[in-house]
Amino acid sequence: MARVDGVKVFLPFSSDVLDLSEEVARSFDIEYADATEHWPDSADSCEFYVPSYRFDPRVVEVMRSMPKLRIVQSLTAGVDHLMPYLPKGVTVCNGAGVHDAATSELAVGLMIGAQRRLADLVRAQDHGDWDQQMAGAVADRQILVIGAGNIGQAVRRRLDGFECDVTMVGRTARDGVHAMSELPDLLPGADVVVLIVPITDETRGMVDSRFLAAMKDGALLVNVARGPVVVTDDLLAEVSTGRLRAALDVTDPEPLPADHPLWHAPGVVITPHVGGASDALWPRAYRLVAEQLKRVARDEPLLNQVSDG
């Protein structure tokens, strides 16, 4: 996108938080816009749009009424929710790097919580029960992280001090990373399997009955990727017998209906897709948006492009 003074930009936060030089700032006409609470009349002139970080269809539906839209900078790593509403010719950039800290923290937190029975202990506290019994640990365990991108590597770094053995798996083999094709050999030895892969044709339904059957008895599945990576009925069949356990930040369907049996399955902990929902998001989001605007002003290639229009 060539530099044009006065490019209209819609942000879901104040531009005051962005580290922009006066020269760069003069290239843009920036307005606050959150389709869930405030939508400016100037939407028909917006060229650069940052949708609000809210799980609300309104923040993406509005793109259909933005005829001059050229760039969408998502604050989420996945952009599959944007695509059905995206006008032709629009460049999409994802939020890669924005959620590394928050999501990897939750992945490790779910792992520790499941191993140390924290959910059971909180329920015991509600009833005043002194539930003192031996629990599992992360130390000395074999941890298999499936997904060797930014967040997967952040999970690995956070596990460095836990005295466990971490094996990374990615789409292709490289230094320190095994290939997906090696999973049949790796799964039986893993005490904890962490999923942090993007949703693609290859990963949708990847964790099915065969995958789960290959996991060792008592193993823990941690999903901080996308719900459809796991075949819910197949997982439910395994956890219902007590053979496997699961800690899930994402589910399929999502939101999980209140009467869904997964809520009450033994050995299952569920959080409501909050992997990236921590205040660690904002400084990283501000840096990314500021960098993208600088690149637009200088007519330089954008970061994190997943669609070039």
Q: Report the distance separating Cα 36 and Cα 250, nearest Å.
A: 23
pLDDT attached to residue 21: 93
Q: Report the distance separating Cα 230 and Cα 227, nearest Å.
A: 6
Average pLDDT over residues 105-123: 97
Q: Report the distance separating Cα 271 and Cα 243, nearest Å.
A: 21
Lowest mean pLDDT among 73-77, 79-83, 210-214, 240-244: 79-83
More confident residue, 77 or 214: 214
Model pTM score? 0.88
Q: Measuring CA to CA, how many Å separate 277 from each of 37, 55, 103, 291, 307?
A: 19, 11, 8, 22, 25
Band of the pLDDT at 29, cuts 50, 70, 90?
A: very high
Average pLDDT over residues 154-164: 97
Band of the pLDDT at 309, cuts 50, 70, 90?
A: low
Please report, as a single letter, which amino acid is at residue 159.
L
pLDDT attached to residue 77: 85
Cβ–Cβ under 8 Å, residues 294 and 20? yes
pLDDT attached to residue 33: 95
- Answer yes or no: is pLDDT of 2 > 60: no
- Answer yes or no: is pLDDT of 4 > 50: no
Query: What value does the mean pLDDT of the chain take?
Result: 94
Average pLDDT over residues 217-232: 97
Q: Report the distance separating Cα 32 and Cα 282, nearest Å.
A: 16
Q: Report the distance separating Cα 226 and Cα 189, nearest Å.
A: 24
- Answer yes or no: is pLDDT of 1 > 60: no
Band of the pLDDT at 6, cuts 50, 70, 90?
A: confident
More confident residue, 55 or 38: 38
Let me know the angle formed at the C-alpha of 14 by 8 and 18, rounded to the nearest 5 degrees. 85
Could you tell me what percent of the chain has a pLDDT over 70?
98
In this structure, are strands 305-308 and 91-93 parallel, antiparallel, or unpaired? antiparallel
Cβ–Cβ under 8 Å, residues 237 and 215? no
Task: Please classify residue 196 by burial: count the beta carbons closer than 10 Å to its beta carbon, then call 0-12 exposed, 13-18 middle and 19+ buried.
Answer: buried
